[in-house]
Chain A
Amino acid sequence: MDISHKTILLAEDDPNDEELFRQAIAQANINCRVEVARDGEELMRYLFGTADQRRVEPGADIDLVLLDLKMPKLNGLQVLTVMHNAHGAGHEHAPPIVVFTSSDAEQDVSTAYDLGAVSYVAKPVTHGRFVETVQQLVIYWLGVNRRAPRRRQRGASWASTTS
Protein backbone atom coordinates (compact mmCIF):
# COMPACT_ATOMS: atom_id res chain seq x y z
CA MET A 1 0.00 0.00 0.00
CA ASP A 2 1.44 3.32 -0.98
CA ILE A 3 0.90 5.81 1.75
CA SER A 4 4.35 7.37 1.49
CA HIS A 5 2.86 10.86 1.42
CA LYS A 6 1.19 10.35 4.80
CA THR A 7 2.64 11.14 8.21
CA ILE A 8 2.05 9.49 11.53
CA LEU A 9 2.99 11.32 14.69
CA LEU A 10 3.87 8.70 17.28
CA ALA A 11 3.73 10.11 20.78
CA GLU A 12 5.84 7.58 22.61
CA ASP A 13 8.58 7.96 25.18
CA ASP A 14 9.72 4.33 25.21
CA PRO A 15 12.39 3.66 22.52
CA ASN A 16 11.55 -0.05 22.69
CA ASP A 17 7.94 0.55 21.77
CA GLU A 18 9.05 2.93 19.04
CA GLU A 19 11.37 0.33 17.50
CA LEU A 20 8.71 -2.40 17.75
CA PHE A 21 6.28 -0.03 16.04
CA ARG A 22 8.71 0.72 13.18
CA GLN A 23 9.43 -3.00 12.74
CA ALA A 24 5.73 -3.79 12.65
CA ILE A 25 4.94 -1.37 9.84
CA ALA A 26 8.12 -2.29 7.95
CA GLN A 27 7.02 -5.95 8.00
CA ALA A 28 3.84 -5.00 6.17
CA ASN A 29 5.72 -2.71 3.73
CA ILE A 30 3.88 0.30 5.03
CA ASN A 31 5.94 3.25 3.90
CA CYS A 32 4.44 6.28 5.61
CA ARG A 33 6.58 8.81 7.44
CA VAL A 34 6.84 8.39 11.17
CA GLU A 35 7.59 11.37 13.40
CA VAL A 36 8.16 10.72 17.08
CA ALA A 37 7.39 12.97 20.01
CA ARG A 38 9.02 11.71 23.18
CA ASP A 39 7.00 13.67 25.68
CA GLY A 40 3.86 15.72 25.92
CA GLU A 41 5.62 19.03 25.39
CA GLU A 42 7.34 17.86 22.23
CA LEU A 43 4.01 16.61 20.98
CA MET A 44 2.46 20.03 21.62
CA ARG A 45 5.25 21.65 19.59
CA TYR A 46 4.53 19.30 16.68
CA LEU A 47 0.85 20.08 16.80
CA PHE A 48 0.84 23.79 17.57
CA GLY A 49 4.27 24.98 16.43
CA THR A 50 6.87 26.70 18.58
CA ALA A 51 6.15 29.85 20.51
CA ASP A 52 7.50 32.15 17.74
CA GLN A 53 5.70 30.44 14.82
CA ARG A 54 2.24 29.54 16.03
CA ARG A 55 0.29 27.31 13.69
CA VAL A 56 -3.05 28.41 12.40
CA GLU A 57 -4.13 24.80 12.08
CA PRO A 58 -2.75 22.47 14.73
CA GLY A 59 -1.14 19.39 13.23
CA ALA A 60 -2.01 20.40 9.65
CA ASP A 61 0.76 18.25 8.12
CA ILE A 62 0.00 15.21 10.25
CA ASP A 63 -2.47 12.54 9.23
CA LEU A 64 -2.70 10.48 12.40
CA VAL A 65 -1.57 10.87 15.99
CA LEU A 66 -0.92 7.69 17.96
CA LEU A 67 -0.97 8.75 21.55
CA ASP A 68 0.54 6.96 24.52
CA LEU A 69 -1.22 8.10 27.68
CA LYS A 70 1.76 7.77 29.95
CA MET A 71 4.38 10.27 28.85
CA PRO A 72 6.76 12.56 30.71
CA LYS A 73 5.81 16.22 31.30
CA LEU A 74 2.32 16.53 29.81
CA ASN A 75 0.56 13.15 29.78
CA GLY A 76 -1.71 11.94 27.03
CA LEU A 77 -4.96 12.98 28.66
CA GLN A 78 -3.60 16.50 29.17
CA VAL A 79 -2.63 16.73 25.51
CA LEU A 80 -6.11 15.51 24.56
CA THR A 81 -7.62 18.24 26.71
CA VAL A 82 -5.64 20.93 24.92
CA MET A 83 -6.54 19.52 21.48
CA HIS A 84 -10.16 19.25 22.53
CA ASN A 85 -10.25 22.93 23.44
CA ALA A 86 -8.45 23.89 20.23
CA HIS A 87 -11.00 21.92 18.24
CA GLY A 88 -13.82 23.74 19.97
CA ALA A 89 -12.08 26.98 18.95
CA GLY A 90 -12.58 26.23 15.25
CA HIS A 91 -9.66 23.97 14.33
CA GLU A 92 -11.90 21.41 12.64
CA HIS A 93 -9.13 19.85 10.66
CA ALA A 94 -6.98 18.65 13.58
CA PRO A 95 -5.68 15.11 12.87
CA PRO A 96 -7.52 12.14 14.34
CA ILE A 97 -6.03 11.03 17.62
CA VAL A 98 -5.92 7.32 18.40
CA VAL A 99 -4.96 6.41 21.92
CA PHE A 100 -2.45 3.55 21.78
CA THR A 101 -1.35 2.74 25.27
CA SER A 102 -0.63 0.00 27.79
CA SER A 103 -3.50 0.65 30.13
CA ASP A 104 -7.05 -0.40 29.45
CA ALA A 105 -8.44 1.13 32.63
CA GLU A 106 -12.09 1.95 32.03
CA GLN A 107 -11.65 5.44 33.43
CA ASP A 108 -8.94 6.23 30.87
CA VAL A 109 -11.01 4.85 28.02
CA SER A 110 -14.05 6.96 28.77
CA THR A 111 -12.04 10.11 29.51
CA ALA A 112 -10.14 9.73 26.25
CA TYR A 113 -13.36 9.44 24.23
CA ASP A 114 -14.88 12.36 26.09
CA LEU A 115 -11.87 14.42 25.04
CA GLY A 116 -12.30 13.59 21.39
CA ALA A 117 -10.05 10.57 20.78
CA VAL A 118 -11.45 8.74 17.75
CA SER A 119 -10.33 5.32 18.93
CA TYR A 120 -8.76 3.63 21.94
CA VAL A 121 -6.51 0.63 21.42
CA ALA A 122 -4.65 -1.19 24.19
CA LYS A 123 -1.14 -2.18 23.19
CA PRO A 124 -0.94 -5.97 23.23
CA VAL A 125 1.96 -7.46 25.16
CA THR A 126 2.42 -10.49 22.93
CA HIS A 127 4.51 -9.60 19.92
CA GLY A 128 2.39 -11.34 17.29
CA ARG A 129 -0.72 -9.52 18.38
CA PHE A 130 1.18 -6.24 18.72
CA VAL A 131 2.36 -6.43 15.10
CA GLU A 132 -1.11 -7.30 13.87
CA THR A 133 -2.71 -4.48 15.83
CA VAL A 134 -0.24 -1.84 14.60
CA GLN A 135 -0.66 -2.91 10.98
CA GLN A 136 -4.44 -2.88 11.14
CA LEU A 137 -4.46 0.49 12.89
CA VAL A 138 -2.22 2.20 10.37
CA ILE A 139 -3.82 0.63 7.32
CA TYR A 140 -7.27 1.58 8.52
CA TRP A 141 -6.56 5.17 9.46
CA LEU A 142 -4.17 6.03 6.64
CA GLY A 143 -5.28 3.68 3.87
CA VAL A 144 -8.95 2.87 4.30
CA ASN A 145 -10.57 5.66 6.24
CA ARG A 146 -11.34 8.96 4.48
CA ARG A 147 -11.32 12.14 6.44
CA ALA A 148 -13.72 14.97 5.90
CA PRO A 149 -12.38 17.20 3.09
CA ARG A 150 -10.55 20.28 4.26
CA ARG A 151 -12.47 23.53 3.99
CA ARG A 152 -10.44 26.61 3.00
CA GLN A 153 -12.55 28.95 5.05
CA ARG A 154 -15.40 28.55 7.40
CA GLY A 155 -18.62 28.73 5.44
CA ALA A 156 -16.81 28.27 2.09
CA SER A 157 -18.92 28.26 -1.07
CA TRP A 158 -20.45 25.12 -2.56
CA ALA A 159 -18.20 25.35 -5.62
CA SER A 160 -14.96 25.45 -3.70
CA THR A 161 -15.79 22.44 -1.46
CA THR A 162 -16.70 20.16 -4.36
CA SER A 163 -13.88 21.11 -6.71
Chain B
Amino acid sequence: MHVLLIEDRAGDARLVAEALAECAPQLALHWSCDLGDGLAQLAQAPVDVVLLDLSLPDSEGLATFRAVQAAAPRRPIVILSGCGDDELALAAVQEGAQDFLPKCDLSGSLLSRVLHYAIERKRAAEQILTLNIELETRVRERTRDLIEANRELEAFAYTVAHDLRRPLRAMDGFSDLLIKDAADRLSAPQRDYLERIRRACDQMSRLIDALLELTRLPYVPLRQVPLDLGALGQEILDELARRTPDRHVERRLAENLATIGDAALVRIVLENLLSNAWKFTRCRQCARIMVGSYYDLGEEVFFVRDNGAGFDMTYADKLFAPFERLHRESDFEGLGVGLATVQRVVKRHGGRVWAEGAVDEGATFYFTLAPPPQTPTGGAAGLPPATEIAPHGYLAQNHPAG
Protein backbone atom coordinates (compact mmCIF):
# COMPACT_ATOMS: atom_id res chain seq x y z
CA MET B 1 0.00 0.00 0.00
CA HIS B 2 1.36 3.43 -0.96
CA VAL B 3 1.05 6.54 1.17
CA LEU B 4 1.87 9.92 -0.31
CA LEU B 5 2.92 12.39 2.36
CA ILE B 6 2.79 16.04 1.31
CA GLU B 7 4.54 17.96 4.06
CA ASP B 8 7.09 20.80 3.92
CA ARG B 9 8.73 20.32 7.31
CA ALA B 10 11.37 17.64 7.33
CA GLY B 11 11.01 17.13 11.08
CA ASP B 12 7.28 16.36 10.80
CA ALA B 13 7.92 14.11 7.83
CA ARG B 14 10.47 12.15 9.83
CA LEU B 15 7.98 11.75 12.69
CA VAL B 16 5.45 10.25 10.31
CA ALA B 17 8.04 7.98 8.69
CA GLU B 18 9.14 6.67 12.06
CA ALA B 19 5.64 6.08 13.30
CA LEU B 20 4.79 4.16 10.16
CA ALA B 21 7.96 2.10 10.12
CA GLU B 22 7.26 1.02 13.65
CA CYS B 23 3.60 0.11 13.34
CA ALA B 24 2.83 -0.50 9.67
CA PRO B 25 5.98 -1.56 7.85
CA GLN B 26 3.82 -2.80 4.95
CA LEU B 27 3.01 0.83 4.05
CA ALA B 28 5.37 2.38 1.49
CA LEU B 29 5.85 6.09 2.15
CA HIS B 30 6.52 8.67 -0.58
CA TRP B 31 7.33 12.21 0.44
CA SER B 32 6.68 15.48 -1.39
CA CYS B 33 7.69 18.73 0.24
CA ASP B 34 5.37 21.05 -1.65
CA LEU B 35 2.07 20.97 -3.48
CA GLY B 36 3.57 21.09 -6.97
CA ASP B 37 5.66 18.01 -6.37
CA GLY B 38 2.77 16.31 -4.58
CA LEU B 39 0.47 16.73 -7.56
CA ALA B 40 3.21 15.49 -9.89
CA GLN B 41 3.63 12.36 -7.74
CA LEU B 42 -0.13 11.80 -7.68
CA ALA B 43 -0.15 11.85 -11.45
CA GLN B 44 2.67 9.29 -11.80
CA ALA B 45 3.08 7.08 -8.76
CA PRO B 46 0.55 4.58 -7.44
CA VAL B 47 -1.01 6.21 -4.39
CA ASP B 48 -3.60 4.58 -2.11
CA VAL B 49 -3.96 7.39 0.38
CA VAL B 50 -2.74 10.99 0.70
CA LEU B 51 -1.52 12.40 3.99
CA LEU B 52 -1.72 16.15 3.56
CA ASP B 53 -0.37 19.13 5.46
CA LEU B 54 -2.51 22.15 4.58
CA SER B 55 0.13 24.82 4.90
CA LEU B 56 2.80 24.39 2.26
CA PRO B 57 5.25 26.81 0.67
CA ASP B 58 3.21 27.03 -2.54
CA SER B 59 -0.31 26.72 -1.08
CA GLU B 60 -2.16 27.52 2.11
CA GLY B 61 -5.27 26.26 3.94
CA LEU B 62 -8.33 24.76 2.30
CA ALA B 63 -7.00 25.69 -1.13
CA THR B 64 -4.35 23.01 -0.64
CA PHE B 65 -6.97 20.38 0.07
CA ARG B 66 -9.11 21.47 -2.87
CA ALA B 67 -6.18 21.30 -5.26
CA VAL B 68 -5.32 17.75 -4.23
CA GLN B 69 -8.97 16.65 -4.29
CA ALA B 70 -9.45 18.10 -7.75
CA ALA B 71 -6.35 16.33 -9.01
CA ALA B 72 -7.29 12.97 -7.48
CA PRO B 73 -10.99 12.87 -6.68
CA ARG B 74 -11.03 9.11 -6.11
CA ARG B 75 -8.07 9.04 -3.71
CA PRO B 76 -8.75 9.16 0.06
CA ILE B 77 -7.15 12.22 1.73
CA VAL B 78 -6.24 12.46 5.41
CA ILE B 79 -5.34 15.93 6.77
CA LEU B 80 -2.23 16.27 8.85
CA SER B 81 -3.20 19.25 10.99
CA GLY B 82 -1.05 21.56 12.99
CA CYS B 83 -1.86 21.71 16.67
CA GLY B 84 -4.79 24.07 17.23
CA ASP B 85 -5.77 23.86 13.56
CA ASP B 86 -8.67 21.49 14.18
CA GLU B 87 -11.23 23.89 12.77
CA LEU B 88 -9.49 24.11 9.43
CA ALA B 89 -9.06 20.31 9.36
CA LEU B 90 -12.77 19.85 10.10
CA ALA B 91 -13.65 22.16 7.24
CA ALA B 92 -11.60 19.92 4.94
CA VAL B 93 -13.44 16.86 6.28
CA GLN B 94 -16.72 18.59 5.46
CA GLU B 95 -15.50 19.03 1.91
CA GLY B 96 -14.66 15.36 1.57
CA ALA B 97 -11.41 14.60 3.40
CA GLN B 98 -11.64 11.23 5.10
CA ASP B 99 -10.18 12.21 8.46
CA PHE B 100 -7.63 14.42 10.20
CA LEU B 101 -4.64 13.72 12.43
CA PRO B 102 -3.14 16.31 14.80
CA LYS B 103 0.63 16.32 14.41
CA CYS B 104 1.16 16.81 18.11
CA ASP B 105 0.02 13.38 19.09
CA LEU B 106 1.01 11.10 16.29
CA SER B 107 1.30 7.51 17.35
CA GLY B 108 2.10 4.71 14.96
CA SER B 109 -0.98 2.70 15.76
CA LEU B 110 -3.29 5.70 15.38
CA LEU B 111 -1.68 6.67 12.09
CA SER B 112 -1.94 3.16 10.71
CA ARG B 113 -5.55 2.79 11.75
CA VAL B 114 -6.60 6.16 10.36
CA LEU B 115 -4.93 5.46 7.02
CA HIS B 116 -6.53 2.03 6.69
CA TYR B 117 -9.95 3.31 7.61
CA ALA B 118 -9.57 6.20 5.21
CA ILE B 119 -8.87 3.83 2.35
CA GLU B 120 -11.79 1.54 3.23
CA ARG B 121 -14.24 4.38 3.74
CA LYS B 122 -13.29 5.96 0.45
CA ARG B 123 -13.68 2.61 -1.29
CA ALA B 124 -17.16 2.14 0.19
CA ALA B 125 -18.16 5.67 -0.78
CA GLU B 126 -16.94 5.07 -4.31
CA GLN B 127 -18.95 1.88 -4.44
CA ILE B 128 -22.12 3.65 -3.36
CA LEU B 129 -21.47 6.25 -6.01
CA THR B 130 -21.08 3.60 -8.71
CA LEU B 131 -24.18 1.78 -7.51
CA ASN B 132 -26.15 5.01 -7.56
CA ILE B 133 -25.06 5.75 -11.08
CA GLU B 134 -25.97 2.21 -12.10
CA LEU B 135 -29.32 2.54 -10.41
CA GLU B 136 -30.05 5.80 -12.14
CA THR B 137 -29.17 4.30 -15.51
CA ARG B 138 -31.41 1.36 -14.79
CA VAL B 139 -34.31 3.58 -13.73
CA ARG B 140 -33.87 5.60 -16.90
CA GLU B 141 -33.88 2.44 -19.00
CA ARG B 142 -36.96 1.07 -17.25
CA THR B 143 -38.80 4.34 -17.67
CA ARG B 144 -37.96 4.32 -21.33
CA ASP B 145 -39.18 0.72 -21.63
CA LEU B 146 -42.36 1.66 -19.83
CA ILE B 147 -43.08 4.62 -22.06
CA GLU B 148 -42.40 2.39 -25.04
CA ALA B 149 -44.75 -0.29 -23.69
CA ASN B 150 -47.47 2.29 -23.10
CA ARG B 151 -47.12 3.59 -26.60
CA GLU B 152 -47.39 0.05 -27.95
CA LEU B 153 -50.47 -0.51 -25.84
CA GLU B 154 -52.08 2.62 -27.21
CA ALA B 155 -51.25 1.57 -30.75
CA PHE B 156 -52.70 -1.83 -29.96
CA ALA B 157 -55.92 -0.39 -28.59
CA TYR B 158 -56.21 1.75 -31.70
CA THR B 159 -55.79 -1.28 -33.94
CA VAL B 160 -58.33 -3.20 -31.93
CA ALA B 161 -60.81 -0.40 -32.26
CA HIS B 162 -60.37 0.03 -35.96
CA ASP B 163 -59.33 -3.20 -37.51
CA LEU B 164 -61.37 -5.64 -35.46
CA ARG B 165 -64.61 -3.68 -35.48
CA ARG B 166 -64.61 -3.29 -39.22
CA PRO B 167 -64.93 -6.97 -40.30
CA LEU B 168 -67.36 -7.48 -37.47
CA ARG B 169 -69.63 -4.77 -38.82
CA ALA B 170 -69.59 -6.52 -42.19
CA MET B 171 -70.45 -9.92 -40.69
CA ASP B 172 -73.32 -8.54 -38.65
CA GLY B 173 -74.51 -6.26 -41.43
CA PHE B 174 -74.64 -8.84 -44.19
CA SER B 175 -76.15 -11.59 -42.03
CA ASP B 176 -78.87 -9.15 -41.04
CA LEU B 177 -79.45 -8.14 -44.68
CA LEU B 178 -79.56 -11.81 -45.63
CA ILE B 179 -82.09 -12.63 -42.93
CA LYS B 180 -84.32 -9.78 -44.13
CA ASP B 181 -83.91 -10.36 -47.88
CA ALA B 182 -84.30 -14.13 -47.84
CA ALA B 183 -86.68 -14.42 -44.92
CA ASP B 184 -89.32 -16.47 -46.76
CA ARG B 185 -86.78 -18.81 -48.36
CA LEU B 186 -84.83 -19.67 -45.21
CA SER B 187 -85.61 -22.80 -43.22
CA ALA B 188 -85.79 -22.47 -39.45
CA PRO B 189 -82.29 -23.93 -38.87
CA GLN B 190 -80.79 -21.70 -41.60
CA ARG B 191 -82.29 -18.71 -39.93
CA ASP B 192 -80.99 -19.91 -36.61
CA TYR B 193 -77.45 -20.18 -38.01
CA LEU B 194 -77.57 -16.60 -39.15
CA GLU B 195 -78.95 -15.50 -35.81
CA ARG B 196 -76.04 -17.28 -34.14
CA ILE B 197 -73.56 -15.43 -36.31
CA ARG B 198 -75.20 -12.18 -35.28
CA ARG B 199 -75.11 -13.08 -31.59
CA ALA B 200 -71.43 -13.98 -31.88
CA CYS B 201 -70.78 -10.63 -33.57
CA ASP B 202 -72.57 -8.85 -30.80
CA GLN B 203 -70.54 -10.69 -28.18
CA MET B 204 -67.28 -9.94 -29.91
CA SER B 205 -68.24 -6.32 -30.29
CA ARG B 206 -68.89 -6.06 -26.57
CA LEU B 207 -65.64 -7.89 -25.91
CA ILE B 208 -63.74 -5.31 -27.94
CA ASP B 209 -65.48 -2.46 -26.13
CA ALA B 210 -64.62 -3.96 -22.75
CA LEU B 211 -61.03 -4.61 -23.76
CA LEU B 212 -60.64 -1.04 -24.95
CA GLU B 213 -62.18 0.27 -21.76
CA LEU B 214 -59.70 -1.84 -19.81
CA THR B 215 -56.67 -0.51 -21.66
CA ARG B 216 -57.90 3.06 -21.32
CA LEU B 217 -58.65 2.95 -17.61
CA PRO B 218 -55.13 3.56 -16.30
CA TYR B 219 -54.93 6.78 -18.32
CA VAL B 220 -58.19 8.54 -17.59
CA PRO B 221 -57.68 11.35 -15.07
CA LEU B 222 -59.41 10.88 -11.71
CA ARG B 223 -62.00 13.47 -10.72
CA GLN B 224 -62.78 12.87 -7.07
CA VAL B 225 -66.12 14.15 -5.83
CA PRO B 226 -68.45 13.27 -2.92
CA LEU B 227 -70.55 10.22 -3.75
CA ASP B 228 -73.41 8.36 -2.16
CA LEU B 229 -72.87 4.70 -2.96
CA GLY B 230 -76.32 3.89 -1.55
CA ALA B 231 -78.13 6.14 -4.01
CA LEU B 232 -75.90 5.00 -6.84
CA GLY B 233 -76.52 1.33 -5.98
CA GLN B 234 -80.26 1.95 -5.79
CA GLU B 235 -80.22 3.53 -9.22
CA ILE B 236 -78.30 0.64 -10.77
CA LEU B 237 -80.50 -1.99 -9.12
CA ASP B 238 -83.64 -0.18 -10.35
CA GLU B 239 -82.27 -0.32 -13.86
CA LEU B 240 -81.49 -4.05 -13.53
CA ALA B 241 -85.00 -4.65 -12.23
CA ARG B 242 -86.47 -2.69 -15.12
CA ARG B 243 -84.54 -4.81 -17.62
CA THR B 244 -85.62 -8.11 -16.03
CA PRO B 245 -89.10 -7.48 -14.68
CA ASP B 246 -89.68 -11.18 -14.02
CA ARG B 247 -86.96 -11.26 -11.33
CA HIS B 248 -87.82 -10.63 -7.70
CA VAL B 249 -84.80 -9.64 -5.70
CA GLU B 250 -84.78 -8.47 -2.12
CA ARG B 251 -82.50 -5.44 -1.90
CA ARG B 252 -80.89 -4.09 1.23
CA LEU B 253 -78.90 -0.92 0.92
CA ALA B 254 -77.27 0.62 3.98
CA GLU B 255 -77.93 4.28 4.68
CA ASN B 256 -75.17 6.86 4.49
CA LEU B 257 -72.72 5.12 2.19
CA ALA B 258 -70.95 8.40 1.63
CA THR B 259 -67.47 8.45 0.21
CA ILE B 260 -65.38 10.28 -2.34
CA GLY B 261 -64.29 8.97 -5.70
CA ASP B 262 -64.57 9.46 -9.43
CA ALA B 263 -68.30 9.39 -10.16
CA ALA B 264 -68.09 7.69 -13.56
CA LEU B 265 -65.49 5.14 -12.48
CA VAL B 266 -67.16 4.22 -9.19
CA ARG B 267 -70.38 3.74 -11.10
CA ILE B 268 -68.54 1.19 -13.25
CA VAL B 269 -67.49 -0.64 -10.08
CA LEU B 270 -71.00 -0.82 -8.68
CA GLU B 271 -72.52 -1.68 -12.04
CA ASN B 272 -70.22 -4.64 -12.42
CA LEU B 273 -70.58 -5.91 -8.86
CA LEU B 274 -74.35 -5.47 -8.79
CA SER B 275 -74.97 -6.95 -12.21
CA ASN B 276 -72.87 -9.93 -11.17
CA ALA B 277 -74.89 -10.29 -7.97
CA TRP B 278 -78.07 -9.95 -10.01
CA LYS B 279 -76.89 -12.55 -12.50
CA PHE B 280 -75.56 -15.12 -10.05
CA THR B 281 -78.72 -15.03 -7.90
CA ARG B 282 -80.82 -16.01 -10.88
CA CYS B 283 -81.02 -19.57 -9.55
CA ARG B 284 -82.60 -18.42 -6.25
CA GLN B 285 -86.27 -18.33 -5.32
CA CYS B 286 -85.53 -15.69 -2.69
CA ALA B 287 -82.66 -13.77 -4.16
CA ARG B 288 -81.08 -11.19 -1.85
CA ILE B 289 -78.53 -8.47 -2.61
CA MET B 290 -76.97 -6.34 0.10
CA VAL B 291 -74.81 -3.24 -0.16
CA GLY B 292 -73.09 -1.94 2.96
CA SER B 293 -69.92 -0.88 4.65
CA TYR B 294 -67.97 -1.36 7.87
CA TYR B 295 -64.85 0.02 9.45
CA ASP B 296 -61.71 -2.04 9.80
CA LEU B 297 -58.64 -0.45 11.38
CA GLY B 298 -60.03 2.99 10.69
CA GLU B 299 -60.62 2.17 7.04
CA GLU B 300 -64.07 2.09 5.46
CA VAL B 301 -64.69 -1.11 3.54
CA PHE B 302 -67.67 -1.34 1.20
CA PHE B 303 -69.22 -4.62 0.21
CA VAL B 304 -71.77 -6.14 -2.14
CA ARG B 305 -73.18 -9.43 -0.90
CA ASP B 306 -75.54 -11.89 -2.54
CA ASN B 307 -76.98 -15.32 -1.77
CA GLY B 308 -76.48 -16.68 -5.27
CA ALA B 309 -74.45 -19.43 -6.89
CA GLY B 310 -71.24 -18.44 -5.08
CA PHE B 311 -67.84 -19.72 -6.13
CA ASP B 312 -65.02 -21.97 -5.02
CA MET B 313 -62.61 -19.98 -2.80
CA THR B 314 -59.68 -21.98 -4.21
CA TYR B 315 -59.88 -19.78 -7.29
CA ALA B 316 -60.68 -16.53 -5.49
CA ASP B 317 -57.67 -14.62 -6.83
CA LYS B 318 -58.30 -15.72 -10.42
CA LEU B 319 -61.58 -13.85 -10.51
CA PHE B 320 -59.95 -10.48 -11.04
CA ALA B 321 -57.82 -11.47 -14.03
CA PRO B 322 -59.24 -10.47 -17.41
CA PHE B 323 -61.24 -13.20 -19.18
CA GLU B 324 -61.12 -15.55 -16.18
CA ARG B 325 -64.49 -17.04 -15.29
CA LEU B 326 -65.46 -19.65 -12.74
CA HIS B 327 -68.84 -20.39 -14.24
CA ARG B 328 -69.77 -21.91 -17.57
CA GLU B 329 -71.07 -19.70 -20.33
CA SER B 330 -74.05 -22.06 -20.62
CA ASP B 331 -74.98 -21.48 -16.95
CA PHE B 332 -74.16 -17.78 -16.61
CA GLU B 333 -73.31 -15.74 -19.68
CA GLY B 334 -70.50 -13.20 -19.53
CA LEU B 335 -67.19 -12.00 -20.88
CA GLY B 336 -65.04 -12.17 -17.76
CA VAL B 337 -63.78 -8.60 -17.86
CA GLY B 338 -66.12 -7.07 -15.26
CA LEU B 339 -64.06 -7.81 -12.19
CA ALA B 340 -60.79 -6.99 -13.98
CA THR B 341 -62.27 -3.57 -14.67
CA VAL B 342 -63.44 -3.25 -11.06
CA GLN B 343 -59.94 -4.01 -9.84
CA ARG B 344 -58.37 -1.43 -12.10
CA VAL B 345 -60.77 1.29 -11.01
CA VAL B 346 -60.30 0.47 -7.34
CA LYS B 347 -56.52 0.50 -7.73
CA ARG B 348 -56.69 3.85 -9.51
CA HIS B 349 -58.26 5.17 -6.31
CA GLY B 350 -55.51 3.58 -4.21
CA GLY B 351 -57.90 0.99 -2.78
CA ARG B 352 -58.17 -2.81 -2.79
CA VAL B 353 -60.80 -5.35 -3.79
CA TRP B 354 -61.23 -8.93 -2.67
CA ALA B 355 -63.90 -11.61 -2.59
CA GLU B 356 -65.32 -14.27 -0.32
CA GLY B 357 -67.70 -16.99 -1.27
CA ALA B 358 -68.62 -20.65 -1.19
CA VAL B 359 -70.20 -22.79 -3.87
CA ASP B 360 -73.99 -22.42 -3.67
CA GLU B 361 -73.77 -20.14 -0.64
CA GLY B 362 -73.42 -16.72 -2.22
CA ALA B 363 -70.55 -14.34 -2.57
CA THR B 364 -69.33 -11.07 -1.06
CA PHE B 365 -67.13 -8.58 -2.86
CA TYR B 366 -65.29 -6.06 -0.69
CA PHE B 367 -63.56 -2.88 -1.81
CA THR B 368 -62.01 0.30 -0.51
CA LEU B 369 -61.66 3.54 -2.43
CA ALA B 370 -58.63 5.09 -0.75
CA PRO B 371 -55.17 4.01 0.36
CA PRO B 372 -55.19 2.37 3.81
CA PRO B 373 -54.78 4.99 6.57
CA GLN B 374 -51.39 5.25 8.31
CA THR B 375 -51.92 3.96 11.84
CA PRO B 376 -48.68 4.35 13.81
CA THR B 377 -50.07 2.38 16.77
CA GLY B 378 -51.45 -0.27 14.46
CA GLY B 379 -54.66 -0.33 16.50
CA ALA B 380 -58.14 0.88 15.66
CA ALA B 381 -59.27 2.04 19.06
CA GLY B 382 -62.74 3.59 19.17
CA LEU B 383 -63.99 3.43 15.60
CA PRO B 384 -65.17 6.89 14.62
CA PRO B 385 -68.48 7.31 12.81
CA ALA B 386 -68.37 7.70 9.08
CA THR B 387 -68.67 11.47 9.00
CA GLU B 388 -65.72 12.00 11.29
CA ILE B 389 -63.42 9.97 9.13
CA ALA B 390 -64.47 11.63 5.91
CA PRO B 391 -61.88 14.02 4.51
CA HIS B 392 -62.32 17.74 5.01
CA GLY B 393 -63.41 18.77 1.57
CA TYR B 394 -66.24 16.31 1.83
CA LEU B 395 -67.52 17.61 5.16
CA ALA B 396 -67.41 21.15 3.86
CA GLN B 397 -69.59 20.04 0.97
CA ASN B 398 -72.21 18.52 3.21
CA HIS B 399 -72.31 21.18 5.91
CA PRO B 400 -71.69 24.54 4.34
CA ALA B 401 -70.22 26.98 6.81
CA GLY B 402 -72.72 29.16 8.70
Contacts and interface: CB of A to CB of B under 8 A. Distances in A.
Interface of A: 14, 16-17, 20, 23, 69-70, 101-105, 123-128, 130
Given A70-B162, A102-B166, A20 B173 contact: yes
Contact of A123 (B165, B174, B208): B165
A100 to B, nearest CB: 12
A43 B147 CA distance: 35
Given A23-B177, A125-B205, A102 B172 contact: no
Nearest to A15: B170
A94 to B, nearest CB: 26
Interface in B137-161: 157-158, 161
Contacts of B166: 14, 16-17, 102
Interface residues of B, number: 22
A70 B164 CA distance: 13
A128 B165 contact: no
B162 A103 contact: yes
Nearest 9 pairs between A and B by C-beta? A16-B170, A127-B176, A125-B205, A127-B173, A103-B161, A20-B173, A102-B162, A102-B165, A127-B172
A127 B198 CA distance: 9
Nearest to B175: A127
Interface of B: 157-158, 161-163, 165-170, 172-177, 198, 201-202, 205, 208
B158 A105 contact: yes
B164 to A, nearest CB: 9
A123 B169 contact: yes
Contacts of B162: 69-70, 101-103
A48 B208 CA distance: 37
A53 to B, nearest CB: 34
A160 to B, nearest CB: 46
Contact of A126 (B158, B167, B205, B208): B205
Contacts of B163: 102
Nearest to B179: A127
B202 A102 contact: no
